[in-house]
Structure 1
Amino acid sequence: MFQFLPFSSQIIIFACDYISLKILDMRYVLLVVFSSLLLIYCAGPVEERSTSVGSDGWLRGVTDEKFEIVAGQFGGFARSMMDVHHRYVEMYWAGEDENWQYAEYQLDEMRKSIEDGFERRPARAASGQHFMDVVIPEMANAIAEEDKQIFDEAFELMTLQCNSCHAMEQVAFIQIHKPEVRTGAVMRR
């Protein structure tokens, strides 16, 4: 290309071209970065449109409002306690039937329900921590023994702990007692 020039001149021309390309590249990069920042700044916050979803559009609002509505459907700790009550009753009858696998299953589901309740209502966790750390493991050990007398003793202690927790949460009027009537259909024959 520049063969008519001496070699040293060719090097200088290539060096100048390289430098000008680098300067051009840098200008291009700065232009792209500046333009992008300008676009982001000028765009400003985007306002979310309120929409309805679900059958018959029952879930309305922007995303945050929908989350609040759905969270309300889960309820607070009382919803967890309804499930815990069901598990408590079923676990009792499983122990009476000496259906140890079913008793273990109910205890594990009870633990999960309580954990879910703590997630929704963290303020309740302090009262329930002893129950989770001590009472449930003791009940699990009693079930593992597969001995009805040991189970009955542990169940009685668990019942006392339930009532103690209720008192700490200012709902001492909720008194739990050993079930007297079987309401579930699961029986060991």
Structure 2
Amino acid sequence: MKKYLVILGSLILTLSCQQKSEEKSSSVGYQGWLKGTSEEKFEEVAHQLGGFSRTMVEVGYRYSELYWAAMDENWGYADHQIEHIIEALEDGLKRRPERMESAESFMKETLPYMEDLIKQEDQETFLKGFQTLTSACNACHSKEGESDIMIQIPLNRTSPVRF
């Protein structure tokens, strides 16, 4: 019995020392930019990921690329963009779950509808659906009290990707 108490005591001491060493401040990343305790590092990483506004930057870029992919009839690239729009929104909604209610129909109806249109590989049909996508974007913004953010069909390409 005494042997087990010594082993248990050693284990507790070891775990306690490990926990204290984890609480020490340290630096990681390129040139040690990420500093602090484990908790402080996680907080900084969460801050770097940002909220939903960073999600919208990516979605906006991919929305534009989706449009131009269809104009080029590059359906593989269009499919790539819709997949990444979905992924970006899913990630953003993990960080800001309070936005899910506004995004629900967009995620469950609008984006699958666009995926189906892309599979048809018909530019005219796609363009009608793209108007629906644009309206759904604006409806979601309105639900979130962001009705001053009005999405419109892109006028200019910003990416060098061409088909």
2:139 counterpart of 1:156 = no
Mapping 1:45-56, distance limit 5 Å? 45=16, 46-47=19-20, 48-56=23-31
Matched with 2:115 is 140
Q: Which residue of 1 aligns with 2:77?
A: 102
TM-score w.r.t. the length of structure 2 is 0.89
* TM-score computed with the length of structure 1 as normaliser: 0.77
In structure 2, the CA distance between the partners of 1:55 and 1:143, relative to structure 1 (3 Å rule), is closer
Please list the CA deviations of residues 32-78 of structure 1 after superposition, one character each: whole Å capped at 9, or x if unmatched: 32223344556784422111223343211111101111111111111
CA distance 1:151–1:44, shift in 2 (3 Å):
closer
Distance 1:35 1:99 in 2: 69
Q: Does residue 68 in structure 1 map to residue 39 in structure 2?
A: no
Superposed CA deviations along residues 85-131 of structure 1, whole A, max 9, x for unmatched, are: 01100100111121111111111111111111111212122211211
Distance 2:76 2:67 in 1: 12
With over 3 angstroms needed to count, the CA separation of the structure-2 counterparts of 1:53 and 1:181, relative to structure 1, is same
Aligned to 1:87, what secondary structure does the other structure show?
helix
- How many residue pairs end up in the alignment? 159
Aligned equivalents of 1:116 and 1:148: distance in 2?
29
Once the two structures are aligned, what percentage of the paired residues are identical?
Answer: 41
Q: Are residues 1:37 and 2:8 paired?
A: yes
Structure 2: runs of 5 or more not aligned: none
User: Higher relative CO (CA 8 A, sep ≥ 6), structure 1 or 2?
Assistant: 2
Say if 2:98 is the partner of 1:127. no
Q: Deviations over 1:17-44 (max 9, x none)?
A: xxxxxxxxxxxxx223222334455678
Q: Report the Cα distance in structure 1 between the residues aligned to 2:10 and 2:139, rounded to whole angstroms.
A: 61
What is the one-letter code of the residue matched to 1:63?
S
Query: CA–CA distance in 1 between the matches of 2:28 and 2:15?
Result: 27
Gap regions ≥5 residues in structure 1: 1-29
Partner residue, 1:79: 54
The equivalent residue for 1:185 is: 160
CA distance in 2, matches of 1:31, 1:143: 72
Aligned amino acid, residue 4 of structure 2? V
Determine the C-alpha separation between the residues in 2 that align with 1:107 and 1:170.
25
Bigger shift: residues 176-185 or 52-61: 52-61
In our comparison, the structure showing a higher alpha carbon Rg is 1
Residues 133 and 39 (structure 1 numbering): CA distance in 2 closer, same or farther, change over 3 Å? same
Cα distance 1:146–1:43, how it changes in 2: closer, same or farther (>3 A)?
A: closer
CA gap of 1:183–1:42, structure 2 versus 1, over 3 A, is: closer
